Amino acid sequence: MKTVFVLNGPNLNLLGLREPAIYGAHTLADVEQLCAQAAARNQLALRFHQSNHEGALIDWLHEAGQLQREGQLAGVVLNAAAYTHSSVALMDAIKGAALPVIELHISNVHAREAFRHHSYIAPVAKAVICGLGVQGYSIAIDAVAQVLLAPAA
């Protein structure tokens, strides 16, 4: 069984409390449960993490890269949160590990402040999903299973 990593960046531990008008009322535990259901539906093992520290996210990307080299990784769903707009280090980790990544955002970042319109992750991601609320996580895991793992036509 291949593994899907779902990685969450800074402040996502505050889901349900932080700006519910933007991010909704679901907690990070709710998101993890949603991801577990999507992974099970797609016969994938789930690794779900959140950190407010950039280095921890990089370490998990490196770990995913090792699984990729061993043929055990399905893909990575990355909600880098604010690091999306500032972290060259996350971009380099994705490139360096040659990871199949789907960038994810709960809100539509393009309908928000101008600084949120730029992503260092998007150029190295296979796809970007934004604005679908926490349901975007389930859709991203489905995409990992149905698109990233699909044999080339």
Calculated CA dihedral for residues 31, 21, 58, 47, nearest 10 degrees: 0
Catalytic residue among 23, 83, 120, 137: 23
To the query of whether residue 105 is one of the catalytic residues in this protein, the response is: yes
Identity at 132, one-letter amino acid code = L
Calculated CA dihedral for residues 39, 42, 43, 47, nearest 10 degrees: -20
To the query of whether residue 62 is one of the catalytic residues in this protein, the response is: no
Catalytic residue among 83, 105, 120, 137: 105
Q: Which two tokens mark 65?
A: 């890269």
Dist CA 68 CA 3 (whole Å): 9
DSSP 71-114: T-EEEEEEE-GGGGGT-HHHHHHHHHHT--EEEEESS-GGGS-G
Q: Which residues are catalytic?
A: 23, 105
